[in-house]
């Protein structure tokens, strides 16, 4: 088990700048998400961060440019059927990008509008993720539960059926802490202090998963 990979979002942000740790995705800290253009010139302008992702198993755009600049493409299995293909079949067919060293779990499973998986459903699928990571020699990140409050007033709260702490508690009680190499979580907002304060909440088993973060930057 390594450390928390923390990602801070802003609702109006076009590009995500994330802060991880030395043992997290990319091994260099900052990364960004680009699920749209993936143009070579954009990736070149964002050459400082050491990793990037697009919420999918494979880049849909300028992966050679990203790989050529030394950035890692971090893969993600978004949900139980990536691009409409059952997870097990999708991972059997999957050949990681040459730069890929990390595989991320399901996207915001505690939001109805995202992968929408209960902890039990996610855990039932998890052995497939563990097997894929092991087969390709990748570090495996947990499902990325969203830091939200059911019935609250936050951006994601209307879609939230369980807070991240409760979701992680259930997931790890069913699957075990040793089935992931690091924990991932999502938090929307522009307040760096608030983002850092939520890190311990993403590590209910924090004796095994030390929570660390430095800062977060958002670019519109």
**Greater model confidence, 197 or 118:** 118
Q: Write the CB contacts of 193 (distance below 8 Å, at least 6 apart in sequence).
A: none
Q: What percent of the chain has pLDDT over 90?
A: 44
* 7 in Cβ contact with 164 (< 8 Å): no
In Å, how far are 17, 37, 40, 69 from 64, measured between CA atoms? 21, 14, 9, 9
Residue 121 has pLDDT above 50, yes or no: yes
Residue-wise pLDDT tens digits, 35-66: 666 666 666 677 777 888 889 998 876 555 44
pLDDT at 40: 63
> What pairing do the DSSP bridges indicate for beta strands 51-53 and 31-33?
parallel
Among the listed residues 51, 31, 185, 175, the one whose alpha carbon sits nearest the alpha carbon of residue 108 = 185
* Cα four-point dihedral sign 12, 16, 20, 24: positive
Domain spans of the chain, in order of start: 4-219
Residue 190 has pLDDT above 90, yes or no: no
**Greater model confidence, 187 or 132:** 132
3-state secondary structure of 52: strand
Q: Report pTM.
A: 0.78
- Please give the DSSP secondary-structure letter assigned to residue 115: T
What fold is seen in the domain 4-219? TIM Barrel (3.20.20)
Average pLDDT value over all residues in the chain: 76
The C-alpha atoms of residue 210 and residue 3 are separated, in whole angstroms, by 5
Q: Which of 27-36, 55-64, 156-165 has the lowest mean pLDDT?
A: 27-36
């Amino acid at each position: 088990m390594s450390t928390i990979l923390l990602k801070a979002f802003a609702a109006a942000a076009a590009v995500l700048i994330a802060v991880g740790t030395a043992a997290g995705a990319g091994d260099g800290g900052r990364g960004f998400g680009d699920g749209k253009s993936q143009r070579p010139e954009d990736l070149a302008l964002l050459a400082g961060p050491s990793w990037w992702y697009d919420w999918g198993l494979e880049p849909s755009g300028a992966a050679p440019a990203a790989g050529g600049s030394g950035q890692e493409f971090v893969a993600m299995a978004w949900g139980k059927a990536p691009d409409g293909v059952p997870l097990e079949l999708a991972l059997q067919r999957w050949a990681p990008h040459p730069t890929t060293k990390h595989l991320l779990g399901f996207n915001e499973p505690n939001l109805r509008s995202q992968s929408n998986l209960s902890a039990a459903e996610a855990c039932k699928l998890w052995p497939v993720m563990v097997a894929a990571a092991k087969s390709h020699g990748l570090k495996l990140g947990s499902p990325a539960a969203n830091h939200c409050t059911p019935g609250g007033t936050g951006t994601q709260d209307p879609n939230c059926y369980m807070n991240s702490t409760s979701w992680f508690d259930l997931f790890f009680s069913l699957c075990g802490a040793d089935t992931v190499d690091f924990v991932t979580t999502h938090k929307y907002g522009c307040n760096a202090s608030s983002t850092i304060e939520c890190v311990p909440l993403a590590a209910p088993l924090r004796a095994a998963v030390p929570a660390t973060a430095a800062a977060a930057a958002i670019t519109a």
